[in-house]
Amino acid sequence: MWRSNGEENNDTSMDSTLSRLASIGQIAAGIAHEVRNPLTTVKGFLQLMEEESPHMYLEIASSELDRAISTLQNLLQVSKPDLQDEPYVPINLCIELESLLYLFQDQIYRVRIERNFRNTDEIVYGKKNQLKKAFFNLLKNAFEAIPDKGTITIEHYRMGNCVYIRIRDTGVGIPAEKLELLGTPFFTTKDEGTGMGLTQVFSTIYQHGAKIDVDSTVRAGTTFTIQFPTDVTHQMGVIDLDLQYENGQSFKEFFEQNRSRFYEVLFSDTKTVMDQVEDAAYRQNIREVCDNMADLINEDRYHELIMLARERGKIGAKNDVPLVVKLELIQGFRKVYWDFLYNYYKNSELDAEGFFQIGIKTNFIFDNYVSHYFSSYMEFKDELLRAHREMVDELSVPIIPLSSSMAVLPIVGTFDTYRAKKVQEQTLTQIASLKIQRIIIDLSGVAFMDTAVVGHLFRIVEGIGLLGCKAIITGIRPEIANTMIELGISFTEKVDTKATLQQALEDYQLVR
């Protein structure tokens, strides 16, 4: 759930956001993989050149390449984490948070730390190194969000079946329109940030079955609340289901005899997820798909199972059911299927070697299903993202001719670096094509611009001037004006500025 200025969106909003972030992360990881390889090759040749003809420029180039490769490696790790069999272990989060705070001792002189640790003996299960890195990134962001002096409050408590960690800072805050972009690779509100820190945070928290909420108000601060389930251990092993078994049964016959029990356990284990599905037809469809999957697996019809995975992946990308629901249903199916395998092995005369052979085959089948499901899902989502981006690109620079020599460009909504580049490209092209002599850029619909975008706007105005066109800027908000003052940007010699679009139109006698 995402919150800003006290307003809450529902859980579906969070899940759709996670779905979008997963899509973007997968695409970014693919690009990172392709870019990293040639950069590594270039790095090797630079090292050879340094050995033969040492030069300061070669050292600088090599150092910058190292930074680029490191950034790409970080992206690959958070988009497709390197598991390396790091075990799930019991973790006392209070102890880990205390140890992490020692790493920020150099900041204590300006930032006060308030601890409110309750239920300090509570344990969660997870991958310690991944979680410590995630909390380090959250704390680092909190300190960096406070430009001068302020306070960071850290809370730990248990409520119901969950352990909560809340990290609150009194920093600059995050604009409402940018909250949903948090966790996207390379998105950052910091001038020199890469966005990879929060990408790792969201990826790790999500992989641990936890939830993360963000509440932020500009110039008041940001609060991250993380909710860990405490019943993870229940999901970590097979269980005795006391199923019916007849001597000499094959696993297929055993499964068929207990099929109704399979769905009873599956829907019980995934009740929390199923409760999020309000569409009765979709709930019935889940049963039909699971029936189909079970039959294909039990009958070793692997090619048809792959086709089913690709079909379901595409359907999953089309509908509005949150991605987290699909993920947990697939994992729930796998777990109950393994419970059935264990109960079959316990009752049958199957030896350990035969059981492990079936287990290896089963994991291979499920991994293939998940791989093809998400491959199809991402392909379709990629198509949707491209189509959406093309539509946004077309609508993001709506130049409106007012006369044969004058036009207006109203900018509404988020004005980020990507959109600024599109404005630059299309505005300059259309000015030259339409032979526009004056253009009014109205910013009254833009609530926030970071320093990088304000600087880019200044360069756009310079480009307009190079084409012999006069720029008139209207509707500059106080927040944007303050940013321009801090950057030392002055438009007085390059453009005219008017308080409102109406005033500009009246001054140029376009309206009365």
pLDDT tens across 146-166, in order?
988 899 999 999 988 889 999
Average pLDDT value for residue range 180-203: 58
Q: Per-residue confidence at 200, pLDDT binned at 50, 70, 90?
A: confident
In a domain, 512, yes or no: no
Q: Please count the structural domains in the chain.
A: 3
CB under 8 A, 24+ apart: contacts of 81-87: 81/130, 81/203, 81/204, 81/207, 86/127, 86/128, 86/129, 86/130, 87/127
Q: Which of 73-77, 172-176, 337-341, 456-460 has the highest mean pLDDT?
A: 337-341
> What integer pLDDT is reported at residue 180 of this predicted model?
67
415 pLDDT band (50/70/90 cuts)?
Answer: confident
| pLDDT of 187 strictly over 70 | no
Return the pLDDT at 231. 57
* Sequence-ordered list of residues with C-beta below 8 angstroms from that of 24, at least 6 positions apart, any chain: 184, 185, 385
Residue 221 within any structural domain of the chain? yes
More confident residue, 365 or 20: 365
Helices 302-318, 280-298: crossing angle, 10 deg rounding: 160
Domain check: are 190 and 268 in the same one? Answer: no
Which residues on neighbouring strands pair with residue 61, listed in sequence order? Answer: none
Looking at residue 248, its pLDDT comes to 85
Rounded Cα–Cα distance for residues 61 and 57 (Å): 6
Between residues 295 and 6, the one the model is more confident about = 295
Query: Cα–chain-centroid distance for residue 245?
Result: 46
Is 41 a residue whose pLDDT tops 70?
A: no
For 160, left (φ over 0), alpha (ψ -120 to 50), or beta?
Answer: left
Same domain, yes or no: 198 and 169? yes
Within-domain flag for 192: yes
50/423: higher pLDDT: 423
Report residue 459 as tokens. 């360069």
pLDDT, residue 9, reads 44
224 in a structural domain: yes
378 in a domain, yes or no? yes
* Helices marked H in 299-400: 302-318, 323-347, 352-395
Do 224 and 96 share a structural domain?
yes
- Looking at residue 235, what DSSP letter applies? G
Using only C-alpha atoms, what is the Rg of the chain?
28
In a domain, 500, yes or no: yes
Q: Specify the range with the lowest mean pLDDT, choosing from 79-83, 290-294, 347-351.
A: 79-83
Q: What value does the mean pLDDT take over residues 34-57?
A: 68
Q: What is the CATH number of the domain that holds 495?
A: 3.30.750.24
22 is written with which tokens? 């997963």
What is the pLDDT at residue 12?
Answer: 46
Looking at the fold, whether 320 and 410 belong to one and the same domain comes out as: no
Model confidence at 323, in pLDDT bands (50, 70, 90)?
Answer: low
Residues 381, 404, single domain; the answer is no
Which CATH number is 184's domain given? 3.30.565.10
pLDDT tens readout for residues 106-147: 788 889 999 999 988 888 888 888 888 889 889 988 998 898
Q: Is the domain of 7 the same as that of 107?
A: yes
Cα 279–Cα 285–Cα 288 angle in degrees, nearest 5: 160
Average pLDDT value over all residues in the chain: 77
Does 406 lie in the same domain as 376?
no
One domain for residues 266 and 305:
yes
Q: Is the pLDDT of residue 16 over 70?
A: no
Tell whether the model's pLDDT for residue 14 goes beyond 70: no
Last residue of a domain, one of 207, 232, 257: 232
Structure tokens, 463 = 């480009």
229 has which bridge partners?
A: 162
Considering the domain architecture, whether residues 103 and 176 belong to the same structural domain is answered as: yes
Ranking 211-215, 227-231, 358-362 by mean pLDDT, the lowest is 227-231
Torsion angle of alpha carbons 282, 288, 290, 295, nearest 10°?
-170
pTM: 0.40
CA distances from 45 to 23, 72, 240 (A): 35, 19, 59
**Dist. CA 108–CA 113, nearest whole Å:** 7
Do 173 and 263 belong together in one domain?
Answer: no
Q: Which residue has the higher pLDDT, 375 or 56?
A: 375
In terms of pLDDT, which residue wins out, 109 or 386? 109
Residue 107 shares a structural domain with residue 212: yes
Q: Dump pLDDT digits (tens) for 458-474.
A: 888 888 888 888 888 88
Q: pLDDT tens-digit profile of 263-281?
A: 888 887 777 667 666 666 7
Q: Which residue has better confidence, 83 or 451?
A: 451
Which candidate, 183, 200, 210, 179, places its Cα nearest to that of 9? 179
The DSSP 8-state label assigned to residue 159 in this structure reads E
Domain end residue (candidates: 232, 247, 273): 232
The pLDDT of residue 393? 59
Helices and strands, counts by H and E, the chain: 17, 14
The upper half-sphere exposure of residue 291, i.e. CA atoms within 13 Å in the direction of its Cβ, equals 8
Q: What is the percent of the chain where pLDDT is above 90? A: 10
- With bands split at pLDDT 50, 70 and 90, how would you rate the model's confidence at 510? low
Residue 191 confidence (pLDDT) above 60: no
424 within a domain of the structure (yes/no):
yes
Phi, psi dihedrals of residue 445, rounded to the nearest 5°: -90, 5
For residue 472, give its domain range: 400-507
Specify if 395 maps to a domain.
no
Same-domain pairing of 17 and 133: yes
Last residue of a domain, one of 214, 232, 250: 232
- Find all residues with CB under 8 Å of 440, minimum gap 6, and list them: 402, 406, 407, 408, 409, 472, 473, 474, 501, 504, 505
pLDDT at 193: 45
Residue 435, strand partner residues: none
